[in-house]
Structures are given as structure tokens and as C-alpha cells.
Amino acid sequence: MAIRNIRIVDDEILRKKSKEVKCVDEKILMILNDMADTMYNTGNGAGLAAPQVGILKRLVVIDMGEGLIKLINPRIVESSGTQEVTEGCLSVPGKWGKLKRPATVKVEALNENNEKFTIVGTGDLAKCLCHEIDHLEGILFIDKAIKVVSE
């Protein structure tokens, strides 16, 4: 596994749309593992999307304290309710924002075995899923924030 460099807000790759993964192969699995190692290495990240490490693929890793979730080609298929949340981002260091996010989201994705699965997130997991999937569209939390503050 390898620790990859996290791209910071001014990097143009963060504003590009990621491409769908056509084939879940060893290279994709290696990228997911590297992303997880990179996220854990930061000490404070709950999720990481491939564009944040310079790869325009629809890949996300999340760990909200209940184990690692790897998502390939994730997409939100349902959402409900609203919640006001505070978000930060490894690619936007030193800034936090207040946003409105869905209270619950249903996400479809592929797992490491190329099998389709569904995950339903509420509260913080819903927030994290939305945040990371936004990265795949070239959207940062600061684009949606009601208010952004610096540390």
C-alpha cells in the first residue's frame, strides 16, 4: 500500500468530473487500498474520493468508525429530509462550513468483487456519502456552504 498526496483546493483536478470505472481489476483495488491508507494516515479524515489523490475515477472510501466502506461508481438514488451539518475537507485545509444536506441517502455502488450493493446512510454517514460523491462531480463543500469559517 502507498500513501498518496492529497490535492488541495487550487488543484484543477478537484473541479473535474470523474469517469465511471468500467472494470474492477487489480489496479482499481490497489487504488482503493492506497486511498484507505492515505485517509487513515491523515488522522482526521472520515472519507476520501479518488480526485483528492489525483485520480479521476468514481472511487470513494469511508470509515465513520464502524469499518471501512469501499464504493465503486457510487450514486445517490434516493434522499429524504434535511439536516444542517458542519463539514471540513482534507482538500480544503483549515476551513469549515455549514451546509444543508439530506438527512438520509440511499446509495448504489459496486463492491470490490464487482457486485452491486446498496447502502443507506443517515446523519453523519449521509453527510459523508454526499460529500464524497460531490467530489466525483468536481464539487467541493465550499461551493454549497451557507457559511465558511477558517480555523
Residues designated as active site? 132
Longest dimension (CA), the chain: 41
Report whether 103 contacts 18 (CB < 8 A).
no
CA angle, residues 22, 26, 30, in degrees to nearest 5? 105
Give dist(CA 27, CA 133) in Å, integer.
21
Kindly give the pairing relationship between strand 47-49 and strand 59-62.
Answer: antiparallel
142: DSSP letter: H
* Beta strands in 3-91, from DSSP E residues, in sequence order: 47-49, 59-62, 69-80, 83-89
148: three-class secondary structure by DSSP: strand
